[in-house]
Amino acid sequence: MNNSGDPQYQEKLIAIANQLKNHAGCIVLAAHVDPDGDAIGSVLGASRALAALGKKVIPVAVAPRYLEWMPKAGELTPKLEVLPADALLLVLDSAEVTRVDGVPMNQVGIPIINIDHHGSNPRFGDLSLVSPDKAACAAILTDLVAALGVTMTAEIAEPILTGIMTDTGFFRNSNTDAGVMHTAAELLNAGVSLAKINEALSSQPRSFFKLQSEVYATIEYPLEEKMVTAFVNGAMLERLNASWEDVESLVGYIRNAEGTYLACLYKDYGDSVKVSLRSKGGVSAQNIAIACGGGGHVPAAGATINLPFAEARAKLLFEAEKELKRVGIL
């Protein structure tokens, strides 16, 4: 087990496991807005493990279309306006209180446990375990399942492994270390099928391919061709009968443009622009995202810039240029 993220990792893990085991009421689980594979995987993995302990669980999340295969029918609750009075709230993969989706975060008398792997997490909650060395929040949950004394079954392992696969870019990104490979091996030993997860995650609707050709047509190489950008807006989606979800993985493809260190997909919402950033070669997408009012990880980050496209693009390129100069690429 790799504990380098937090010297008190094991201690905090045990304290959290004990509080969860000792809590007599229900346990509500939630993750961040715009949930990804790690958010949904962490909520489902933790909730199935706690259910195996006999706990009453309410996992709160809405799986985006490409992750709809993950929950069983009726397993997820989309939203809770008010938490049950006896609830404990377990928040997963959420870098900030304001990022938590579907549950009230200010209800008096509700204990909150915060498990995450974003270094910028302010360690909110009554108990928190934030371990930035972990490639995925789901990887922490593998350790939590063990600390709870729950046997890792295929049913618990599948969403956890999915979270790890999506947050490591299918074991290709720089956060794929020996520790996460060991964790994945443990999950495979529990009987989960890597091929099944891979197939489910790789499947794309026809609208995705039409959209892909249009988005590729917008590719530009600014900043002395050290950066690659692509653009999508609502009108393109409407014309192709595609959805914003079809766009999610596109930045992962353009980041492969030869000779570039930084990839940006602009999602133009009209009065604001969401930028999804990917970086390599020492460039920090996180630095750029933070400068634009967002956040994330060093190799993968994002921000919503509340400006029309031309101004948002200028702001992003300004911050990107600063970062590329900082590492000596420009």
For the CB of residue 134, give the shortest distance to Mn ion in the complex, in Å: 9
For the CB of residue 180, give the shortest distance to Mn ion in the complex, in Å: 12
**Strands of the 300-305 sheet, one edge to the other:** 227-233, 262-268, 273-279, 300-305, 295-296
Q: Please choose, out of 25-33, 88-96, 99-107, 202-210, the segment that lies near Mn ion by the rule CB under 5 A.
A: 88-96
For the CB of residue 200, give the shortest distance to Mn ion in the complex, in Å: 19
93 touches Mn ion (CB under 5 A): yes
The residue among 15, 58, 65, 67 whose CA lies nearest residue 39 is: 67
Q: Please choose, out of 8-16, 92-100, 127-135, 229-237, the segment that lies near Mn ion by the rule CB under 5 A.
A: 92-100
The interface with Mn ion within residues 17-56 (CB under 5 A) comprises 38
The site that binds Mn ion (CB under 5 A) totals a number of residues, namely: 4
The interface with Mn ion within residues 107-136 (CB under 5 A) comprises none
Nearer of residues 38 and 158 to Mn ion, judged by Cβ: 38
Nearer of residues 28 and 40 to Mn ion, judged by Cβ: 40
At a CB cut-off of 8 Å and minimum separation 6, what does 252 contact? 169, 278
Q: Are 261 and 329 in contact (CB under 8 A)?
A: yes
Q: Are 12 and 127 in contact (CB under 8 A)?
A: yes
Q: How far is CA 118 from CA 136, 284, 296, in A?
A: 9, 14, 7
Nearer of residues 121 and 212 to Mn ion, judged by Cβ: 121
Nearer of residues 211 and 301 to Mn ion, judged by Cβ: 301
For the CB of residue 145, give the shortest distance to Mn ion in the complex, in Å: 17
101 touches Mn ion (CB under 5 A): no
Nearer of residues 183 and 260 to Mn ion, judged by Cβ: 183
Q: In this chain, which of 101, 143, 158, 167 binds Mn ion, going by CB under 5 A?
A: 167
Residue facing Mn ion at closest CB distance: 38
143 touches Mn ion (CB under 5 A): no
Nearer of residues 274 and 315 to Mn ion, judged by Cβ: 274
For the CB of residue 163, give the shortest distance to Mn ion in the complex, in Å: 7
* 117-122, long-range: CB < 8 A, 24+ apart: 117/5, 117/93, 118/93, 118/295, 118/296, 118/297, 119/297, 120/95, 120/96, 120/290, 120/295, 121/94, 121/95, 121/96, 122/96, 122/97
- Structure tokens that stand for 195 in this block: 């091929």
Nearer of residues 177 and 214 to Mn ion, judged by Cβ: 177
DSSP, residue by residue, 23-36: --S-EEEE-BSS--
Q: How far is CA 215 from CA 98, 305, 313, in A?
A: 31, 20, 16
Q: Which residues are near Mn ion by CB under 5 A?
A: 38, 93, 137, 167
